[in-house]
Structure formats: structure tokens, C-alpha cells
Amino acid sequence: MDADTTLSPEFLEVAERNLTSGVGGVGGTFAGRPCASALGYLQRMEFHRYGQVAKRMGERAFVLTGTGTLFSYGALLDVREQRRTATLLPAGRSFYDTHSLTEDNELTFALQTCGYAVRSPVGMWATTDVMETVGKLVGQRERWYLGALRNIAQYGRLMPFHMRWTYWRQQAGLLLSALVAAFYLVALAVSVMLLGGVDFRWYWTLPSLILLAERVWSVWAMGPRARLYAALFLPEQLYTLLLTFSYARALVKFVRGDKGAWVAT
């Protein structure tokens, strides 16, 4: 677990119940700590929605988060052995890949490649820190994005097909989001400069209302403040653009071969 994390009271009990044969690790669903800033609260809303996605996926984990995870010792021994023989996994010497920017993500890859299931059961919560300045948030997410890209490139075709479908598709979605955001901003700038403004089209009303309702409903359980931010719409859109900017920076670094560096966040 991370030093800035608090585990839910039933964390170990739920983990023990789910750490059965064939399961390499069980990780907590992370939640953001209470905070005063709008930026920090938007992260809490993001984490809350991520928890809902994990539940819909039948408790299968995308990543055994470094905020709080319990591993099977036998599975870790297997991972270490596979690293040393460099057959199933990229070459290494120990349980973790100490050169990875996102060691929790890489170890999740390693366990699944070795045939182990990874789970994020309901009832396991890890309350962790949020970044309350733009600089810290961009630094954190850039490391996460760059680390994930490097992990995927490191594994290449060693990664089983079902994992490639999951994780490569995730990266394709992030890339598409970045391209759409760039196109939108360029189109908006051209409309303002050349056409003098943006024309309203009535047929965008219904999909916009559906999106707004979904955003509010998905954070309803968090209380009035989350509902207000979601209903205002603009704060979350600006937050999404900031994350997209972070991904674009990470992608440029990845293409250039920049290995990145770990920074305290």
C-alpha cells in the first residue's frame, strides 16, 4: 500500500475471501481523500466513477493499484521465476520491475500473462491522496500515461490476445479522445475567428441533456457538491481537457523515446 493511503476496515477480510486458487492479486478500488479544492474534488468524482466501472466488469481489475493490493505469494514467486527465465515475461530479476514508471500496472500485466486472475472486489476501498494543483496533477497523470505506454510496448506480443484487446483498446480510446479534443478546439477557434461565433443547433439539445443526466446520476451518491459540479458541466469538461493534455504530453515523450522520471505526487 502507499504511505498516503487509508484502507477500509474490512479490506483484509474481503481480500482474504477473494484470494483463492488461481487469483494472483486482489486490489482495492481507490477513492480520493476529502479536500477543499475544486480540482481535488473533480478527481474524487473521477475515482468514484472508476469504481462503478470496476463493479460493472464483474470485479475484474484493470490494474492492481499501488494504493492497496494483497498478492498471492505463490503467484509472486512464479512471476519472479518467469522474469528470470525470460520466457513468458520480459527479462528481470525480482518480483517488481524496478525500472517501470508504473510498477503496479506492470505487475498486473505480469500476473495475467502468467495466467492468474486479478480482482477488485466490492468492499475493498483504498482512500488515497488527490493532487490539488494543476502542476502536480499533470505530473502524476503524465507519469501514469507514459508508464502504461511503456509497459504495453515492453510486453508487445508476449501479452496474450485477450489482454491486448483490453489494454491496446484502452490506449486507442485515449488517443481518439486526444484527437477529438484537438479537432474540437481548432474548430472552435476557427468558428470564433472567421465566423464571429458559434451557431446553436437544436438537434444537439437531446444528446447534451442525456450526457448531462448521466454525469449527474453517476456521482449522485457523493452528495450535493458532486451533483453541482456535474450539473454545471463546464468544470468536468475543463478537467477532461487537462487530462487529455497530460496524455498528449506523455504520448509525445513515448514517441520520442523519453523514459520519463518518477516524481513525488
Domains held by the chain: number: 1
Average pLDDT score over the chain? 91
pTM (2 d.p.): 0.91
In a domain, 22, yes or no: yes
Which residues, including other chains, have CB under 8 Å from residue 14's CB and lie 6 or more apart? 26, 121, 122, 123, 124
Stretch 30-34: mean pLDDT, rounded?
92
The answer, yes or no, to whether residue 240 has pLDDT greater than 80, is yes
6 pairs with which residues across the strands? 127
How far apart, in whole angstroms, are the C-alpha atoms of residue 222 and residue 237? 19
In a domain, 261, yes or no: no
Helix then strand then coil, in percent of the chain rounded to 5, is 60, 10, 30
The SS3 assignment for 24 reads strand
The alpha carbon dihedral of 19, 63, 172, 58 has a sign of: positive
For position 198, what pLDDT does the model report?
A: 65
In a domain, 103, yes or no: yes
Share of the chain above pLDDT 90, in %: 72
In a domain, 60, yes or no: yes
In a domain, 218, yes or no: yes
Of 36-45, 129-138, 142-151, 197-206, the poorest mean pLDDT is in: 197-206
Which of 43, 22, 23, 25 lies closest to 33 in space, CA to CA? 43
The model's pLDDT over 69-128, given as tens digits with 9 standing for 90+, comes to 999 999 999 999 999 999 899 999 999 998 899 999 999 999 999 999 999 998 899 999
The model's pLDDT over 122-178, given as tens digits with 9 standing for 90+, comes to 889 999 999 999 999 999 999 999 999 999 999 998 999 999 999 999 999 999 988
Of 83-92, 127-136, 185-194, 208-217, the poorest mean pLDDT is in: 185-194
- The boundaries of the domain holding residue 147 are 6-256
In a domain, 171, yes or no: yes
In a domain, 264, yes or no: no
In a domain, 118, yes or no: yes
How far apart, in whole angstroms, are the C-alpha atoms of residue 197 and residue 156? 46
